[in-house]
Structure 1
Amino acid sequence: MALALSAVDFTETFHEFSRAHEDWELDELILAIFFFSVGLLLLFFQNVTENLEVEDKLAVNSHQLLKYRNAIMQMNESVIITDQSGRIEFVNPAFSTITGYSEDDVVGKDPSVLKSSAQDPKYYDELWQTISRGEVWKGELIDRKKDGSFYPAEMTISPLFREDGSISHYIAVQQDVSEKRELEERFHHMQKMEAIGTLVGGIAHDFNNTLSGISANAFLAKRKASLPDDTVRRLETIESLSFGAGEMISKLLSFARKGVMNMVSLEVTSLFQGAMETSRLLVSKNVTLTFKNCISKTYIIGDADLLYQVMMNLINNACDAVEEVREAPSVTVTVDELIEDDLFISRFGASKGMGFVHVAVSDNGIGIDAETIQYIFDPYFTTKEQGKGTGLGLAMIFGTVKSHNGYIDVESEPGLGSTFHLYLPVIQASLHQPEDKASREETFNGNMETILFVDDNDEINEGMTTVIRDLNYRVLSCSNGKEGLELYKQHLDEISLVVMDVVMPVMSGPEAAKTMREINPDVKIILISGYDLSHELDDEINHDELIHKPFSIRKISETIYRTIYA
C-alpha cells in the first residue's frame, strides 16, 4: 500500500500512525519505523525508475521524429504541410526542385501560387470541400512552376486531426508525372501506328491484286492490232496510274513494315552523301546545304533505295521549312557514330547491336509546335498546303527506319528550327553489295513450256493466263493451292514452272509449294504476293523467286524466263 503513496503522503501517514499508537512499546515502534523506512526507500526507487522510463521514451520518440523528418526531407515527391486555413507551414526540398519555389517563397502563403489556368475553378472547390469534410482527396492537376511553365502532377491531400477530432493541418504529397505522361503518349502512339500498320497490311493484298488485274488487261489491250494512237495513249495512262497507285501502297507498306525490301550490306556515308548531292540539284539556290561526315567507312544492313528515299524526304522537308527564312536559310546533314548509353537506353530501350550510325538533319526554319509534333509521323497528316504534300512522307520514313531496326526522333521549337535524328544499327563490313540491275528487253518470250498459274483472284487469273500465253507458253490455271497441287500431280512431267499467289483460301501458296517440293525436289516455283511474307515462309520450300504485286509484264516475263532457263 505504501508503494502507491507519494513522499508527502507517506510522511503524514507515518505521523498519524505514531499518534494512534503512543502506547506501543519501544521495540514495537522501532519495528514499525523500520518497515516505514523500507517503504520509503521502495517508493524512491520506483520514482527513479519511472523517471528513467520517461527519459527513454522521450529519447525513442525523438529518434523516431528525426527519422520521419529525414524521410520527408529526402523524398522525391513534393510534400506541403498547411494549417487548417490552408496557409503553408512547411515544404520539403523536392517541392523546390519540382516547382522552382524556395521555402521562403511560399511559407505563409496558400498553395494557389501553383495554380494554372488548366483547371476549372469548380475543380478546386470540390477539392477543398472534400478535405474540409475530413476526407482524403486524390487526383491529377496541371500546376505552374515559378518560371511559368506547366507540369502534370498526381496529388494526395490528407487532413491531420487533433484528439477531439477537429482538423489541425493538411498534408499534400505531389509527384511530377511529366516523364510518365510522355512515356504513356509514346506507348499509345506506337499502338496507334501498329494498328494502322495492321490495317494497311490487311488491305494491301486485295488492292494490289486489283492493280495487277488492271495492268495486265491494259497490256493485253495495247497488243491488239489496229488500235488508234489515242486509245494506246489512254491504255498507257491506265498502266501508269496503276503503277503509281502501286508505289503509294508500297510506301504505306513500308510504313507498316510489311513491304518488300532488298536488305544488303551498305556503306552509309556514300549513300547519304549521294542523297545530299541529288538534293542540291532540286532545292532553291539560296538554301545552304552542308554535309558533315564524322565517321570512316561504316556499314549497316539496309535497303539502299528505301534509305535513299528517307534521306531525300528529310532533306526536302527541311528545305521546305526554311522557305520563309530571310537570312541565311540552311540545312545541315551530320553523320556520326553513337554508342548507346543510359540516356539512349532509357529513351529507346537496349539493343544488341555494335552501336548506331546517327544521322541528324537540321534546319533553321519555322520549327514545329508541341501540339503538331505528336502527329507528324501519322499517315496523311501534313501541315503543307493542298497540292504540296501527301502526308505519307514522314509516315514512310517512320516505317522504313523501324523496318531497319532503327529509331527516329525529332526535336524542334517554333522559330528555332528542327532536327530529325535517325539511328541505324551498325554491322561489320561485308563484301556483299547490291547487285547491279541488268538492262532488260521489253518482254522475254518462252518456247511453249507449260506453266501452272495459281491465284484466287478471278480477274488476275484470267488476265495473267492470257498474258503468259501471249509470251509463248502453255498455261494451266486454278484458284487455290489445293487445286494447284492436284493439277501438278496430274501434269508432273509437263510442268516447267509453277507461279502461285502466297495468300489463298483452302491452301496457301507456301503450303502447296512445300508439298510440290516433297514430290519433286527440282520443281521451279515463283511466289507472288501483295506484300512481303518472306519472313513467314518455311526455308525448306526454297522458292526460286518472290515477286511483289503489282508487277510489270516486263518484270514477270523476265522472271519466268530466267527461272525456267537458270
Structure 2
Amino acid sequence: MQSLRKSLAIKLLVLFLASCLMALALSAVDFTETFHEFSRAHEDWELDELILAIFFFSVGLLLLFFQNVTENLEVEDKLAVNSHQLLKYRNAIMQMNESVIITDQSGRIEFVNPAFSTITGYSEDDVVGKDPSVLKSSAQDPKYYDELWQTISRGEVWKGELIDRKKDGSFYPAEMTISPLFREDGSISHYIAVQQDVSEKRELEERFHHMQKMEAIGTLVGGIAHDFNNTLSGISANAFLAKRKASLPDDTVRRLETIESLSFGAGEMISKLLSFARKGVMNMVSLEVTSLFQGAMETSRLLVSKNVTLTFKNCISKTYIIGDADLLYQVMMNLINNACDAVEEVREAPSVTVTVDELIEDDLFISRFGASKGMGFVHVAVSDNGIGIDAETIQYIFDPYFTTKEQGKGTGLGLAMIFGTVKSHNGYIDVESEPGLGSTFHLYLPVIQASLHQPEDKASREETFNGNMETILFVDDNDEINEGMTTVIRDLNYRVLSCSNGKEGLELYKQHLDEISLVVMDVVMPVMSGPEAAKTMREINPDVKIILISGYDLSHELDDEINHDELIHKPFSIRKISETIYRTIYA
C-alpha cells in the first residue's frame, strides 16, 4: 500500500510538470499562421489567452485524474482493512483449541483448523471433500444424527454431546455446536461446527464420582464396623468370662479360646476395611519384616498369572521395625501386583523379585533423603523385567489419580497411598526404571533394636490388671456389651455403675460425683453421645478421668475441649481394657 501511494504521487507530479512544459512550449513556438486562422474565427482572442486556456484545460484533466486516483485509494484502503480483519479472524480460527469444521450446504467438508487434526488425527487432506461421518462411532443411534441434521437444516443451532471416533479407531467424548451460515437472501450456504474434546472433563467428573463413592463406602463401612465391632466385643467379653469358670473341661476352654481368637481375627478384618475406607487408626507395633513381606509374596502367588516367576530373597536375619502390619502388607501387595502387571507383555521369562536386606546409610543416602545418620534401615526392593517407565512419567507416578494403566484397570491411587504409608512410617521410597528393561521400587524403613520387640502372645493376652474396688461408670447402648463388660469390670475388682446412653450417664455421674473414679463410655449412642456427655462432665469436674470406646476411629472428630484420657477401639482384649483402666485411674 505504501509503495502504491508513492507511485501515484510520482505520476501526478510528472503529469503536472508535463502540463507546465506544454504551456511554456506553446509560448515559444511560432504559431502565427495557425493563430491567424484561429483568430479569424475568434477575432477577440489573443495568443496569451489561448495559452492560458490550454493550461487550464490541462489542470482540469489533472484534477479529474487526481479525483479518480483518490477514489481508488479509498477503495484500496477499505480492502486493506477488510483483508486485515479477515486475517485476524482466520488466525483466531487456526489457533483455537477447539476443532472447527466448515461444510457446504450438502455437508461436504471444505475447511478444518489445526485443532481438528490434533484431536482426531485426521489431516486436512484426509477429510476435505468428504462427509463428517468419518468421525461417526457406534455410540450414538442413527436417529440421533437424523435429529441433528433436521435441526440445522431448519436454520437452527444444534448443541449436544456425542462420542466420536479418531483416525486410530479410539473413541473420545465431545461437546459440539453446529450453526448454519446464511446468504443475503436467507438461504443456507454453509455449516460451521465447533467441537471440544471433553476427555479431561469427563476424567475429572469420574474422579469426583469415585471420591463420592469412596466417601459413601467409608460411611457404610464405618456404620457396619461400629455394629460389628460391638458384637465382637460382646463375644470376646463373654468368652473371657466363661473361661474364668474353674469347673470347665479343658476341651470347652479350648473352644472358648477359639471363639475369642476368631473374634479378634474378625476385628482385624474390620480394621482392614476401615483402613481401606480411611476411617481406621494406625496400629503401630513392633514387626518382624521378613515374615511380613514374605507373607505378602506368598499371597500374591495365588493371585498372579502362573507364567510369572516370583522370587523372594532374604539377605538379613530377623529385623524389626515399628509399623502397622495391615498397611505395610497392603503396600507390598500393591507393589508386587503392579510389577506383575508390568510384565504382562513380556514373552520370555517374566519375573518379579522381592529382596530384603539391611542398609547402613551413607552420605549420599543422607543427602538424598535427609535421613538422620546412624538410624539404620531395612531395604526392600521390588524388581521386575517389564515395560519400564520413562523419565517424564516417573516424576508423576506418586501423584494421586495418575495412572498409566488402561481404563478400568487402575484408579491412580495405589502408588499415592503407598507413598503416604511409607512416609507415615518415617520411611522413604524411590524408583529406578528404564523403558524396556524393567523397574525397581526401593523402600527404606527405619529399624529398631531386637530387644525392643515385644510380641503379644497368648499368655500376655490372658494377663489382667486388677483394681482396688474403685467405682467405674460404664455407659454403652448395646445391652449385651453393657452386661458383659459390667461383669468383666466387676471381675477385675471394681464397683460398677452402668446405663445405656450419655444422658443417663450424666445423671448418674452427678448423683455419684464423689464416688466415681473413672468413666468409660461408648462414643456413638442415642439421646446423648459419649463426647457430649464427656464435655458436660468435664465442665462439672475438670479432673474427671474419661475413657471413650468406639467401633472405629473418631479421634479426628472429637472436640479438643473434651480432652478424654484414652480412646480404645473395639474389639479389645480384656488385658488391654484392664491395663487402660488401671493406668488411667492410677496415672
Q: What's the CA shift string for 1:238-276, capped at 9, x where partnerless?
A: 434433332232222222221122479999999979967
How has the CA–CA distance of structure 1 residues 374 and 60 changed in structure 2, closer, same or farther, with 3 Å as cutoff? closer
Report the Cα offset of residue 323 of structure 1.
11
Decide whether the 8 Å contact of 1:265 with 1:429 is kept in 2: no
- Shift in alpha-carbon separation, 1:166–1:420, aligned structure 2, 3 A: farther
- Out of 100, 106, 109, the position equivalent to 1:88 is 109
Mapping 1:34-183, distance limit 5 Å? 47-183=68-204
Q: Deviations over 1:504-555 (max 9, x none)?
A: 2343323333344444444332211111111222334332221101212222
Check 1:386–1:438 CA distance in 2 against 1; reply closer, same or farther (3 A cut). Answer: farther
Alignment match, 1:216? 237
Query: Following TM superposition, by how much is the alpha carbon of 1:502 offset from its aligned partner in structure 2, in angstroms?
Result: 1.6
1:340 counterpart residue number? 361
Shift of 1:229: 5.0
Distance 1:5 1:553, change over 3 A: farther
The size of the alignment, in residue pairs, is 566
SS of aligned partner of 2:451: coil
In structure 1, distance between residues paired with 2:104 and 2:366: 44
In 2: Cα distance, 1:237 partner to 1:276 partner:
28
Mark the CA change 1:436 to 1:471 in structure 2 (over 3 Å): closer, same or farther: closer
Give the secondary-structure state (helix, strand or coil) at the position aligned to 1:439. Answer: helix
- How far apart are 1:21 and its partner, in Å? 18
Cα displacement string for residues 397-445 of structure 1 (whole angstroms, at most 9, x for unaligned residues): 8997999999999999999999999999999999999999995543332
Distance in 1 (alpha carbons) for counterparts of 2:146 and 2:519:
75
- Cα distance, 1:465–1:382 mapped onto 2, change above 3 Å: farther
- What is the deviation of 1:283? 9.9
Q: For the Cα contact (< 8 Å) 2:320–2:450, is it kept in 1?
A: yes
Q: Say whether the 8 Å CA contact 1:101–1:145 is kept in structure 2.
A: yes
Distance 1:245 1:323, change over 3 A: farther
Q: Is the 8 A contact 1:143 1:151 kept in 2?
A: yes
Aligned CA distance change for structure 1 residues 31 and 377 (closer, same or farther; 3 Å): closer
Please say if residues 342 and 388 of structure 2, whose CA atoms lie closer than 8 Å, have aligned partners that are also in contact: yes
Q: Deviations over 1:459-500 (max 9, x none)?
A: 211111011111222111122333333333433343332211
Q: Structure 1 residues 556, 297: CA separation in 2 closer, same or farther (over 3 Å shift)?
A: closer
* Shift, 1:58, TM fit: 0.9
Shift in CA distance, 484/20, structure 1 to aligned 2, threshold 3 Å: farther
Change in 2 beyond 3 A, CA 1:39/1:308: same
> Is 67-76 or 291-300 further displaced after alignment?
291-300
Distance 1:11 1:133 in 2: 82
Instruction: Report which stretch shifted further, 456-465 or 140-149.
Output: 140-149
Q: Contact between 1:156 and 1:172, CA under 8 Å: does it hold in 2? A: yes
In structure 1, C-alpha distance between the alignment counterparts of 2:100 and 2:567, rounded to whole Å = 64
Residues of 1 paired with 2:140 and 2:210: CA distance? 25
Change (3 A) 1:486 1:555: same
- Aligned-pair CA distance for 1:71: 1.1
Secondary structure at the residue paired with 1:430? helix
Aligned to 1:33: 54
How far the C-alpha of 1:28 sits from its partner, in A, is 17
The more displaced of 46-55 and 383-392 is 383-392
Instruction: State how far apart, in whole Å, the 1-side matches of 2:252 and 2:300 are.
Output: 37
Shift of 1:379: 19
Cα distance per residue 1:273-323 (max 9 Å; x no partner): 996799899999985457999999999998464234432465368669989
Contact 1:368 1:418 in 2 (8 A): yes
Cα deviations across residues 73-105 of structure 1 (Å, max 9, x unaligned)? Answer: 111122222222222222211122222222222
Does the CA-based 8 Å contact 2:27-2:51 persist in structure 1? no
Instruction: Flag the 1:68–1:221 CA change in 2: closer, same or farther, 3 A.
Output: same
Q: Which runs of 5+ in 1 are unaligned?
A: none
State the identity %.
100
Say whether the 8 Å CA contact 1:81–1:169 is kept in structure 2. Answer: yes
What is the alpha-carbon distance in structure 2 between the residues aligned to residue 302 and residue 230 of structure 1?
36
Aligned-partner SS, 1:159:
strand
Task: Say if 1:65 and 1:258 are closer, same or farther in 2 by CA, change over 3 A.
Answer: same
For structure 2, which runs of at least 5 residues remain unmatched after alignment?
A: 1-21
Q: Deviations over 1:117-156 (max 9, x none)?
A: 2222222222222222222222223222222222222222
Task: Report the Cα offset of residue 64 of structure 1.
Answer: 0.5
Q: Which moved more, 1:135-144 or 1:48-57?
A: 48-57
Judged with a 3 Å threshold, the aligned counterparts in structure 2 of structure 1 residues 33 and 522 are, in CA distance, closer, same or farther, namely: same
- Given that 2:23 and 2:54 are in contact with CA atoms closer than 8 Å, whether structure 1 keeps it comes out as no
RMSD: 9.4
Query: Residues 3 and 39 of structure 1 are in contact (CA less than 8 Å); yes or no, is this contact kept in structure 2?
Result: no
Q: 1:450 deviation in Å?
A: 2.0
1:15 Cα deviation (Å)? 26
CA change 1:409–1:111 in 2 (3 A) is farther
Taking a change above 3 Å as real, the CA distance of residues 375 and 266 of structure 1, as seen in their structure-2 partners, is same
Whole-Å separation in 1 of the counterparts to 2:134 and 2:470 = 86
Cα drift, residue 211 of structure 1 = 2.2
Distance 1:561 1:359, change over 3 A: same
1:400 aligned onto 2:418:
no
Distance of 1:155 and 1:481 partners within structure 2: 59
Mark the CA change 1:210 to 1:6 in structure 2 (over 3 Å): closer, same or farther.
Answer: farther
Gap change, CA 1:118 and 1:3, over 3 Å in 2: farther
What pairs up with 1:508-523 in 2 under 5 angstroms? 508-523=529-544
Residues 2 and 10 in structure 1, CA contact (< 8 A), matched pair in contact too: no
1:345/1:108 CA distance change after superposition, 3 Å: farther
Change in Cα spacing, 1:17 to 1:88, as seen in structure 2 (3 Å) is farther
* Alignment CA distance shift 1:174-1:451 (3 Å): same
Query: Which region of structure 1 is more displaced relative to structure 2, 237-246 or 387-396?
Result: 387-396
Distance 1:162 1:389 in 2: 52
Distance in 2 (CA, whole Å) between partners of 1:461 and 1:315 is: 45
| Contact in 2 for aligned 1:279/1:316 (Cα 8 Å) | yes
SS at match of 2:101: strand
347-356 or 324-333: bigger deviation: 347-356
Quick one: which of 213, 229, 244 aligns to 2:265?
A: 244
Aligned-residue offset at 1:116:
2.3
Q: Which moved more, 1:18-27 or 1:443-452?
A: 18-27
Residues 141, 320 of structure 1: alpha-carbon distance in 2 compared, 3 angstrom cutoff:
closer
In 1, are the aligned partners of 2:361 and 2:373 still within 8 Å (CA)? no
CA contact (8 A) 2:461 2:574 kept: no
Residues 257, 403 of structure 1: 8 Å contact kept: no
Instruction: Within 5 Å, give how 1:387-536 maps onto structure 2.
Output: 439=460, 441-536=462-557
TM-score for both structures, normalised by structure 1 = 0.69
- 2:280: which partner in 1? 259
Change (3 A) 1:553 1:146: same
Of 335-344 and 465-474, deviating more is 335-344
What are the superposed Cα offsets for residues 136-183 of structure 1, whole Å, 9 maximum, x if unpaired? 222223222222222222222222222222222222222222222212
- Structure 1 window deviating more from structure 2 (307-316 vs 30-39): it is 30-39
Q: Bigger CA drift: 457-466 or 397-406?
A: 397-406
Aligned residues of 2:308 and 2:349 also touching (Cα < 8 A): yes
The 3 A distance-change label for structure 1 pair 499 and 386 is farther
Q: Which moved more, 1:4-13 or 1:180-189?
A: 4-13
The SS at the match of 2:355 is strand
**Does the 8 Å contact 1:331/1:362 carry over to 2?**
yes
Q: Is the 8 A contact 1:2 1:43 kept in 2?
A: no
The answer to which of 505-514 and 381-390 deviates more is 381-390
SS at match of 2:460: coil
Flag the structure with larger Rg.
Answer: 2
With over 3 angstroms needed to count, the CA separation of the structure-2 counterparts of 1:514 and 1:232, relative to structure 1, is: same
Change (3 A) 1:228 1:253: same
- Of the structure 1 ranges 340-349 and 467-476, higher mean CA displacement relative to structure 2 is found in 340-349
How far, CA to CA, are the matches of 1:39 and 1:346 in structure 2?
A: 93
Q: How far apart, in 2, do the equivalents of 1:251 and 1:293 lie?
A: 27
Normalised by the length of structure 2, the TM-score is 0.67
Contact 1:336 1:358 in 2 (8 A): yes
